[in-house]
Chain A
């Protein structure tokens, strides 16, 4: 695009002030160069990502975890949606491709329990299905930015934790999975009335890629906090990193 003034400025004005203008331009360029240099230094941090920067960012991230825990309202429900808006099948996402999903044999599957839980006997799938069931149509929001609406059914994690005599004053609930995707959440979110141990999607048994036979579904946390193919649940006061947290992602990840 070119753009020219209708009336050219009087060049005599320019001639009169040329030395002054030139010196100003020169200084401006030097200064501009300096600030551009500063800018490139700022982005240069991530080339190497020095340990001090990484530690500072993680310290702030932990502070953000506490802020998020403080912002979390245990009684606030996420919006729910009509069944017509449910995406079926749901969106697959994992740290590996959908072709690499290893299916779990539901008949041999057991849910192991550990930590601050009174009744630690393992659970079979029919035993879990015999617990009171709940269904919810909620939005799944991924940290990447996309979302979809899904219908999840199963037993409330709160109901399950109460049933097995878990210490509900403990700090964390930790999950182990068949796909080596450990995850941990805060107890407040574990007890939220929309936090499900899901066994069904859209009124049908969970399909393999989405965590059959048992997965976690929380309306109040980002997608990556919802482990699939759960094999063990531990209630503990000791913090444990999840798969993505080990790589630097925030732990609380509340919505």
Chain B
């Protein structure tokens, strides 16, 4: 099912690159891989330390995060982890956004999203017909999920700033509906990212070649004619 769209998407991508040596280009260049794993560490630090901070004044009654899931043995150290991790998350995230826009990676991998592709992907998924032989093209649902998690990451930095500095950035905080509202959005953003993370990690373990690709770079991006029958690695 991916063949047709994969081919058109790829030809766009390849057309840009044919002047360069196409066989050198991997699915995940080293810079993307480094940013991915820095982000993985930063996100885990922010999520688990955030849970430690959350526990002192819960948003959902009865929802507490157990000690084994929290970073920092009590609030003081969860806060210190959070306020240290934020620099790593924000600076790495900013690099990733600049890279994604400047190098055209977002446009290339995440766009366009067509409604009929979404419907087809959902239908295929429900029929267990997901094709993983081609890692170089994301299906419509993958694209949507990646866009959601990127936006959620941005939202966490913005709402985080509003909570951290509600007076110095009072305009931002009131735009978000006030301090408590910004806190709740920050919490919801975490929930979205954790939800994504569960699906993302489970799928990466079920289709390990995607995990390997994020470690070693994955398949080389070569013209469609040559890549017709690439066996599973």
Chain A: residues with CB nearer than 8 A to chain B?
5-9, 17, 20, 24-25, 27-29, 31-32, 39, 42-43, 45-47, 49, 54, 56-58, 60-61, 64, 68, 71-73, 76, 78-79, 139, 141-147, 219-220, 244, 247-250, 254-255
B-to-A contact residues, CB < 8 Å:
41, 44-45, 48, 53-54, 56-57, 59, 68-73, 75-77, 79-81, 83-84, 87, 126-129, 165-168, 170, 174, 179-180, 183, 201, 205-209, 211, 232
Question: How many angstroms from the CA of A145 to the CA of B82 in the assembled complex?
Answer: 14
Distance A143 CA – B165 CA, assembled complex (angstroms): 12
Q: Per a CB cutoff under 8 Å, which of B59, B73, B84, B208 touches A46?
A: B73
Are A9 and B76 in contact, CB atoms less than 8 angstroms apart? no
Residues of A within 8 A of B201 (CB): 32
How far does the Cβ of A183 sit from chain B's closest Cβ, in whole Å?
16
A78 to B54, CA, bound (A): 25
Contact A220 B167 (CB under 8 A): yes
Evaluate whether A145 and B56 lie within 8 angstroms (CB atoms) in the complex, with A6-B127, A24-B208, A79-B174 already known.
yes
B80 touches A248 (CB 8 A): yes
Q: List 17 A-B contacts (CB under 8 A).
A: A7-B127, A28-B208, A42-B48, A47-B73, A60-B80, A68-B165, A71-B168, A76-B170, A141-B166, A141-B179, A143-B56, A145-B57, A145-B59, A145-B183, A244-B76, A250-B83, A255-B167
Chain A CB count within 10 A is highest, among B41, B80, B81, for B80
Q: Say whether A43 contacts B70, CB under 8 Å.
A: yes
**Interface residues of B: mostly helix, strand, loop or mixed?**
helix
Contact A78 B48 (CB under 8 A): no
Minimum CB–CB distance from B214 to chain A (whole Å) comes to 11
How far, in angstroms, from A180 to B80 measured CA to CA in the complex?
A: 24
- Across the interface, A57 reaches (CB within 8 A) one of B69, B84, B232, namely B84
- Please pick, from B76, B87, B168, B205, the residue contacting A29 in the complex, using a CB distance under 8 A: B205
Q: Which of B53, B83, B87, B128 contacts A5 (CB 8 A)?
A: B128
B59 to chain A, nearest CB (A): 8
- B residues in contact with A146, CB < 8 Å: 57
Q: Is the CB of B69 within 8 A of A247?
A: no
Q: Chain A contacts of B208 at CB under 8 A?
A: 24-25, 27-28, 31
Name A61's contact: one of B44, B69, B83, B207 (CB within 8 Å): B83
Q: Please name the residue on chain A nearest to B86 by beta carbon.
A: A64
Is there contact, CB below 8 Å, between A6 and B126? Answer: yes
* Contact with A144, one of B57, B72, B167 (Cβ below 8 angstroms): B57
B53 in complex: contacting residue of A20, A145, A254, CB < 8 Å: A145
Q: Which of A8, A43, A143 contacts B48 (CB 8 A)?
A: A43
- Give chain A nearest CB distance to B69 CB in angstroms: 7
Would A5 and B126 count as touching, CB distance under 8 A?
Answer: yes
Residues of B within 8 A of A39 (CB): 44
Cβ-closest 8 pairs across A and B? A145-B57, A28-B208, A248-B76, A144-B56, A57-B80, A144-B57, A60-B84, A255-B167
